[in-house]
Structure 1
C-alpha cells in the first residue's frame, strides 16, 4: 500500500448508515447508500492514478457488500467493520460524519509504524499523484490537515466560528484555526494523542450543542487539533500545498484552473455527478473533469442571480434587527 518506497498511505472513508439519522444538507438523495456509490468513484479514481485502494469503514459491512456487488465492478473498495462508540441525537446535522472519531481510533490501531492514515470524505476525487515530499513532511510531524479558516471565517463570521471552537475546546485559543473534515493524514503516534483529546472536545460539543452555530465533526476535531498545536505539535496545512481543494461548482471566488493543480478535489456540491460515475462501466477522469467544467460554467452564470436572491431574503432580517436596535433604550 505505497505511493513511494518510503511513505505508506492507507486511504479510508467512512460510510455510516443509519436511516433515522439526519443526513448532510448537501446531499439531495434520501438513500444513504449513495455514499457507497461516491466511495466507488473515489476508489476507481485512486486506482486509475496508481494510488492505494480505498478502505470503507462501515457499521453495516454486509449491506454495503451487497450494494457493491450490484454495481458489478472489479476491484471494489475493501470493507472493514466499525464499532460506534459515540452517542449523540440522531437529529444532529451531519449525523454520520461524527463517527469519524471511531474510524480514527480503530483504524489507527492497525496502522503500521511510519505509515499515514488518510481519512477522506466519499465525495472526493484525486486528480494527480500525491506529493511525496509533502507526505514525508506530514509523517515527520505526525499530521497533515486542511486549514479552511479563510473560508469558514468569511462565510460565517470570524467571531462566530472562533466562539464555537473555543466553546468546544474549553478554553481561549491563541491562534484558532478551522480544519476541513474532507482530508486528514495522521500517523499512529499522532492518532494516539488526537483521539483522547478529541473525545474530551466531543463531550463539550454535546453539552454545548444548543449554543453552537455549527454541527459536525469539523468542530470537535478542529478544536482538538488546536489544543494539540498549543502543546507543541505542528500541523502541516495540506491545502497550502494543494494536496486538496474544496470546490463548489459555480463559486467564482477561485479560478477553476487553480483546482486543476490540486492532487485531490472535494466536491460537496457534485455528489450526484460522482454517484453517476459509479454506475458507468468504465471510469474516465478526463470525462469527469469535462463534466465539472460544464457544471461550473453553467452555475457561474447563475451565481449573480443567486447572490441577489440571497440578499433579498436576508434584507427583511436586517430591517427587523435594525428596528429592534432603534427601539432599545439608550
Structure 2
C-alpha cells in the first residue's frame, strides 16, 4: 500500500490567523509545509502534496527552492461556505480536500492527511500501514487531552449534537493526522458532509469549533456502524506537543514518526529556511522551546499564587477594618 502525504494550505487575506498562529503572513503555512516536506524526504517518505485554493500564489513562494526539493501542488475545489470569523476557518476545507482525494487516489494508495505544522522524524512502521489499510482508517485519538480540560460531558454533548445521535463510545480525534484508503474516504466524506451541515446549524450551541468537531463525529458514527479504525497514537505514529506542557515526557516524542507542534509554528518556519531537515538541529530547538515554555508556565503559576495570597491578605485586612 502506497502513501500520499498531503496538507491543506488555504489562503485568504481577509481571514485572521488561526487561534494558535501569531504570524500575520497569510503564506506562513507554506513555510511550515516546506519544513514538513523536507522532513518527509529526510525520513525516506514520499514528497508532500500541498492542496491549496491559491496555487499560483503558493507556487511563487516555492520558486526559491530546487525543483527536486519542492512539494507538489494541487488545486483545491472549495465548496464550503461559512463566516470568515469562524475559529479555525481554513481547517474546515479539509472536508473538500478529502472529497477530492476520494475520487482521485488509486486503489492501492492511502491518503496521509497531515497538518502543515508537523515534522516527520522517521517513516511510519510498515506493520501499522498494513493494519490501517486492512481496517480502512487510521486516526489519532486525543480524547485524553480534550476530555479532562473541557469536561467529558461537554465534549460528548458536542459530538452527539453534531452526530445527531447517541454514540456508543464517543472519542475525539485530532485533525493533524488521518490515514484512509479511497474506499474508506468514500464512506467518510458523505457522513462528514452530514455532520458538517449539523455543525453549521448548531455552531452557536457547540463549544468546539473546527474540522475536529464534525470529522470526529463522522468517525464515531462510522465506527458505530462497523467501520474499522486503528488508533495510531498508541503506535507513536504521531504526538502533539505544546511547549512547556507536562502531558508527556519530552523524550517520548523522539520515538514518534510525526510530531505536531501547534504552538511551535515559528520554530518550523525558521527550520524551513534550511535546504535540508536536520533532526538533531530541530530537536535542540524544540527542547529549548520546551524549556522556555516550562519557565513561562512556572511564572504564570507563581503569579496566580501571589494574586490569590494578595487577595486573601486584602480580604483579611478589610474584614479587620469592618470589625474595628
TM-score, normalized by length of structure 2? 0.92
Q: Retained in 2: the 8 A contact 1:242–1:261?
A: yes
Q: 1:162-204, CA deviations, whole angstroms, 9 ceiling, x for partnerless residues?
A: 1111110011111100000000000010000000000000000
Q: Quick one: distance in 1 between partners of 2:300 and 2:101?
A: 42
After TM superposition, the structure 1 stretch with the greater mean CA deviation from structure 2, 266-275 or 15-24, is 15-24
Q: Which residue of 2 aligns with 1:145?
A: 139
Query: By how many angstroms is 1:49 displaced?
Result: 1.2
Q: Quick one: distance in 1 between partners of 2:124 and 2:108?
A: 17
Query: By how many angstroms is 1:73 displaced?
Result: 6.9
Q: Retained in 2: the 8 A contact 1:22–1:94?
A: no
**Is the alpha carbon distance of 1:76 and 1:311 closer, same or farther for their aligned partners in structure 2, counting shifts above 3 Å?**
farther
Alignment root-mean-square deviation, CA: 1.7
**Moved segments of 4+, more than 6 Å:** 310-315
**Is the alpha carbon distance of 1:311 and 1:100 closer, same or farther for their aligned partners in structure 2, counting shifts above 3 Å?**
farther
Could you tell me which of 249, 268, 274 is aligned with 2:243?
249
Q: 1:231-282, CA deviations, whole angstroms, 9 ceiling, x for partnerless residues?
A: 0112100001100000011111210011111111000111001001112344
Could you tell me which of 160, 164, 168 is aligned with 2:158?
164
Q: Which residue of 1 aligns with 2:314?
A: none
Structure 2: runs of 5+ lacking an equivalent: 310-324
Q: Quick one: distance in 2 between partners of 1:114 and 1:204?
A: 33
**Is the alpha carbon distance of 1:159 and 1:310 closer, same or farther for their aligned partners in structure 2, counting shifts above 3 Å?**
farther
SS in 1 for 2:92: helix
Q: Quick one: distance in 1 between partners of 2:18 and 2:78?
A: 19
Structure 1: runs of 5+ lacking an equivalent: 1-6, 316-330
Matched, 1:232 2:226: yes
SS in 1 for 2:116: coil
Matched, 1:199 2:193: yes
TM-score, normalized by length of structure 1? 0.90
Query: By how many angstroms is 1:304 displaced?
Result: 2.4
Matched, 1:122 2:77: no
Q: Retained in 1: the 8 A contact 2:101–2:182?
A: no
Q: Retained in 2: the 8 A contact 1:11–1:54?
A: yes
SS in 2 for 1:80: strand
Q: Which residue of 2 aligns with 1:107?
A: 101
Matched, 1:154 2:148: yes
Could you tell me which of 293, 297, 306 is aligned with 1:299?
293
Q: Quick one: distance in 1 between partners of 2:230 and 2:306?
A: 40
Query: By how many angstroms is 1:303 displaced?
Result: 1.8
SS in 2 for 1:129: coil
Could you tell me which of 14, 27, 30 is aligned with 1:20?
14
**Is the alpha carbon distance of 1:61 and 1:274 closer, same or farther for their aligned partners in structure 2, counting shifts above 3 Å?**
same
Number of matched residues?
A: 309
Q: Which residue of 2 aligns with 1:267?
A: 261
Q: Quick one: distance in 2 between partners of 1:309 and 1:25?
A: 24
Q: Retained in 1: the 8 A contact 2:17–2:23?
A: no
Query: By how many angstroms is 1:312 displaced?
Result: 8.5
Query: By how many angstroms is 1:295 displaced?
Result: 1.3
